[in-house]
A and B are shown apart, each in its own frame.
Chain A
């Protein structure tokens, strides 16, 4: 089976390529990149004229909800949504029921993904048993079973000693610890950022400092242990400043931000009061924080952009603000929001965006043959039109808890190719 992608602008930050090239795919691998490749017309030829052809996007932070909450999302529906969003690899977080905290549960996810998933699924294992922050999981066994990182995402590890041990121990497996930074005692009962809007709406606040304290703690522990630390969904200006400073001091730490944190601020909750699709953790912060995140994306303090795709059913979300669960979906808006806000609005080169959506994730988490369009690499390819405008309407995800419904965005995915298979094709091609 051969596929030829013709006339597209190939954009591969790792090889520093940004020009019109043709790509040939054979048996799920990239076999040739050249100015002009010709193939007999009976082969599958994609005309990618005026489209960008990039390495398949890698979302390092999603919740696929299987096992346990299949009414919200499944590995099947979540990977279809990923494909629709131009994403060829997703990291699924371990806060399932039961959590991914032992070899068996990793194997379950891998097997399910193999049989039902349309894109690559890389499980993230829990750091502690039952994600309770008390006892380390069998990290070596998890690694053997296939996890690409460990995290107790959603449940920060409050006990600094456990966090220290996790960073130390995971080092020998070259596993990165993904940290959700939150001091739970400071955020207890909180539902949005603490400040003007929480005061206005009478909602309990989650202070920024709850995140920042833990970011600082984790940086200090990373420097103590020399463990690999990745701070996920960074949302405040100070967090970013701490990380920037740590990087300048030569620490091997990385971080990601989500599109909602660099596009929305708490002001949006004032405009749409008590809209539970604006409830997520970390909460939407201030305008000043949004600005700082964008600056950090521009100066490469931010390594990755991740969706924190967190599906919830309508029934769960249509509730009193305090009772609704945290989280919004994001797989299908990850690329368009990045293109609209970073490329069109902030004039960040597309190359830098792709770097944070594909190249860096693959390198930080050591994904073999991914994140680049080198010959011999997996044929995971995203083809998109960065200028095509569309209105966010419906989703392939099982859930539709998105605050971006009705938004006009630019950056339409045209084809998603995963290991040489076309897993998504835009209807309007």
Chain B
């Protein structure tokens, strides 16, 4: 049996998201030019929650898109356990927009790189920033997240999982050793 440790509980998660929302509103002076793009799968749900929170806070409806980075992975041909691709859905013009990419965990930086590559093929945003719930370190690429929910030092043997209500979890983040 692997030992599973909760590092963020339900209340903490909501608090973190509230804090991040405030930071977003503070940073982006022109919220009308902001568009949020969630990275499948958990990034999508986090993006939905944050868009909702921004709406509650400012009464502004931020444009929301989803991105699946599967086709942009740099390890195709090297691993067999790649998830089924999902739809990338960005129904607005991203040219000159301020894009905020959202994902659950920032690790090697490869997912964000792939997402950026895809975004740049779809259009030419003015800026791209990154928001993650957890930054676990161990970067392999020069990628930087402007908005971080929580920083945790980890090792490669560890696994971090965000268990959201939307996927049948209980809104917690757990860590365990593989």
Contact between A and B in the complex (any CB pair below 8 Å): no
Chain B residues within 8 Å of A, Cβ to Cβ: none
